């Protein structure tokens, strides 16, 4: 990875800002920090969405540039994961945000207040985040393709004696298969359950059953962050079982409330007989 903050992390922050600027009774979540991560041009677009007369224009301009799918999918996945964490964070459960990007859950979710939260990501993105939010969670600098996730977490206070839930949002589709396997092995060894997103692998190849796939795949490639990994939903349960997890839920962004059928959110529990670290 280059020594720069992630552009896709910034666009996800813009999507969250759009949703947060909807009326309180209609928005699915509120992220009051999202706008702070945006470059001036995108910040103007986000701020315009605060005003009813400009909201449709601002979101329409974004959708015209990004294509159908990304914004609605990003909003749907955020809501599903927020709800999953609200249910999972009981007792002294720890939360690990893998590839956290500009995720602000450690600051905005009541379910994470007072909890041990670890944010794992590339140092360049973390530097930008620290500059905006300052202190908060445990920042763990890790490159998933090269670094030891287990060592990084243990060196930063992760407690093997406590339950944990790992959130892996918007990351797997940018990794190699080897990096995905290594990360799943680390999560399993650390005793964690997992909430993650992935793309339907058929979106990576042409012809694709998803009309929005070509434009979306080409857009992320042009940004320098191409999609490189996906799963076939019908085989995701088997894929996870072979790696020590039981699939509990697997839903497309479309079925979760809006967005694309190619983008999916899954919840998996560590198998009872999976080896522990």
3-state secondary structure 27-52: CCCCCCCHHHHCCHHHHHHHHHCCCH
The yes-or-no verdict on residue 1 having pLDDT over 50 is no
Residues 6+ positions from 109 with CB-CB distance below 8 Å: 82, 85, 86
Task: Indicate the pLDDT class of residue 2, thresholds 50, 70 and 90.
Answer: very low
**Residue whose C-alpha is closest to residue 183's, from 140, 218, 225, 222:** 140
Residue 4 has a pLDDT of 52
Residue 123 has a pLDDT of 85
Cα(87)–Cα(81) distance, integer angstroms: 10
Cα(255)–Cα(16) distance, integer angstroms: 19
Strand-pairing partners, residue 200, are: 231
What's the predicted TM-score (pTM) here?
Answer: 0.94
Give 104-155 pLDDT, tens digit per residue: 999 999 999 999 999 999 888 888 889 999 888 999 998 888 899 999 999 9
The yes-or-no verdict on residue 274 having pLDDT over 80 is no
Phi then psi dihedrals of residue 118, to 5 deg: -120, 125
Residue 3 has a pLDDT of 44
């Amino acid at each position: 990875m280059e020594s720069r903050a992630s552009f896709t992390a910034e666009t996800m922050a813009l999507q969250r800002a759009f949703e947060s600027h909807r009326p309180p009774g209609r928005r699915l979540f509120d992220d009051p920090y999202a706008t702070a991560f945006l470059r001036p041009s995108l910040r103007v677009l986000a701020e315009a969405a605060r005003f009813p007369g400009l909201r449709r224009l601002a979101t329409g301009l974004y959708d015209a540039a990004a294509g159908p799918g990304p914004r609605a999918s990003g909003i749907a996945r955020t809501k599903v994961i927020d709800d999953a964490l609200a249910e999972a964070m009981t007792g002294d459960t720890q939360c690990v945000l893998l590839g956290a990007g500009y995720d602000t859950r450690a600051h905005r979710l009541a379910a994470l207040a007072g909890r041990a939260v670890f944010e794992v990501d590339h140092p360049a993105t973390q530097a930008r985040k620290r500059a905006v939010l300052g202190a908060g969670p445990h920042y763990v600098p890790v490159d998933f393709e090269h670094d030891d996730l287990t060592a990084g977490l243990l060196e930063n206070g992760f407690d093997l004696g406590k339950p944990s839930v790992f959130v892996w949002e918007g990351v797997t589709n940018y990794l190699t298969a080897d990096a995905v396997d290594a990360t799943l092995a680390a999560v399993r060894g650390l005793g964690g359950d997992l909430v993650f997103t992935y793309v339907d692998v058929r979106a990576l190849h042409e012809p694709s059953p998803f009309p929005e796939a070509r434009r979306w795949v080409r857009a992320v490639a042009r940004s320098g962050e191409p999609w490189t990994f996906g799963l076939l939903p019908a085989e995701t349960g088997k894929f996870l079982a072979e790696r020590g997890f039981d699939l509990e839920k697997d839903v497309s962004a479309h079925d979760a409330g809006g967005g694309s059928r190619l983008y999916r959110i899954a919840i998996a529990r560590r198998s009872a007989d999976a080896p522990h670290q």
